[in-house]
Amino acid sequence: MTNTRILGLDPGLASLGFGAISICTYTRPPTVTLIDFGIIQTPARTEMGTRLQTIYNDLHSLLDEIKPDLVAIEQLFFYKMGNTIPVAQARGVILLAIAQHQIPWVEFTPSQIKQAVAGYGNANKPEVQAAVARELALDKIPRPDDAADALAIALTAWLQIS
């Protein structure tokens, strides 16, 4: 029996959220299980190149460990002008690492993620996090927020391909 592994990524420079799920399509209905979740952190006062290298190295290790069949990423929006460029730089490193592992990837807007997981595109963060916990049969909402967001992204990918 083969499971599909999806790794969700919530791009960030200070905190890159990740969440991995496994889907067994041989059961009816398909079953979704949690593999792992967490963050890749880089210290704020560290030089940009060092921070990007940390993301690159840690993401390579994560991809080797999880071995995802698909990676899902939140699409970058430009309304957060204060951190758009650093997040875009981190996202470039993320896409490079994914390409080097030859893993297909998809991206979703925040409203697509909210719609898929919580049922409507204007859901607030607590509603999305509660839906993630419910869908994965977790006793509590995953923490930190970036990891919960990454799980929501992974769930969105599953719901889009199922």
In this prediction, residue 35 has a pLDDT band, given cuts at 50, 70 and 90, of very high
Average pLDDT, the chain: 92
List the catalytic residue out of 107, 139, 146, 149.
146
pLDDT at residue 55, as a whole number: 97
Known catalytic residue at 146: yes
Q: Is the pLDDT of residue 29 over 80?
A: yes
List the catalytic residue out of 74, 135, 145, 149.
74
pLDDT at residue 56, as a whole number: 97
Provide Rg for the chain, Cα atoms: 15
Residue 60 tokens read as 């390579």
The CA-atom distances, in angstroms, between 45 and each of 12, 63, 85, 94, 100 are 15, 27, 17, 21, 29
pLDDT at residue 86, as a whole number: 85
List the catalytic residue out of 10, 47, 127, 145.
10
pLDDT at residue 161, as a whole number: 81
Give the residue among 47, 42, 8, 3 at the shortest CA–CA distance from 26.
3
Number of H helices, E strands in the chain: 5, 5
pLDDT at residue 82, as a whole number: 61
CB-CB contact of 11 with 87 (8 Å): yes
At 66-120, the pLDDT tens digits run 999 999 999 976 555 566 788 889 999 999 999 999 999 999 999 999 999 999 9
